[in-house]
Amino acid sequence: MKQLALPLALTVLIVLAGCGGAPSETTTTPPRDQTFEVRMNGDSSATYVVTARLVADPVENVTVSYADGTNRSMALPDRQGAVAYGPDSGATAVEPRAESVGGVFFEGTPNFSVTDERVPATGTLVWSVRENGERVLVAWGLIRCDGHVGSLSLTTNESGVIETGFSCAS
């Protein structure tokens, strides 16, 4: 009986100490119950490539690549808001420093709407627009919402992207 008591006592101590090998914290996948829409309207015959990436929070910076071969780290807005840049920025690519969890990619002429259904709620969007296969982006930007980024709207004319807008959902 003494031989059985010692292993049993050790087993009880291990379980009570939390060393039983069971995970102490569970990781849950966020629900994919949101939508995200991109609209592009305007009077332009140009073909545009639009990339809009919803990024997993938290993310603080993106890497911007420029036509001269340099790269620069740029901070996202620290509160709800947006920043947008035109072709004079010389940017050729914008890459978030976090995982993309949804978004939209479209190539074509203006007057379209594309929706990504069933994305997780996220408050960060990194977007870019390239015209007719050009190397330099005609427009790009960063959006931060207190809730979920619901939509991005772009307006064009023959000069390129002339107006941007976005919506946030709580």
Instruction: Identify whether the C-beta of residue 30 lies closer than 8 Å to the C-beta of residue 56.
Output: no
Look over the chain and give the mean of its residue pLDDT values, rounded to a whole number. Answer: 86
Structure tokens at 109: 């002429």
Q: Which residues contact 56 (CB under 8 A, 6 or more apart)?
A: 98, 99, 100, 101, 120, 122, 124
- Does 132 have pLDDT greater than 50? yes
In this prediction the pTM is 0.80
CATH number of this structure's domain 33-169: 2.60.40
The DSSP 8-state label assigned to residue 87 in this structure reads G
Share of the chain above pLDDT 70, in %: 82
- Does 7 have pLDDT greater than 50? no
Nearest to 101 by CA among 52, 40, 63: 52
In this prediction, residue 28 carries a pLDDT of 56
- Determine the average pLDDT of the residues in 11-17: 40
Q: Where are the domains of the chain?
A: 33-169
pLDDT digits (tens, 9 = 90+) for 46-103: 999 999 999 998 888 999 999 999 999 999 988 899 999 999 999 999 999 999 999 9
Q: Quick count: other Cβ atoms within 10 Å of Cβ 24? A: 5
In this prediction, residue 156 carries a pLDDT of 96
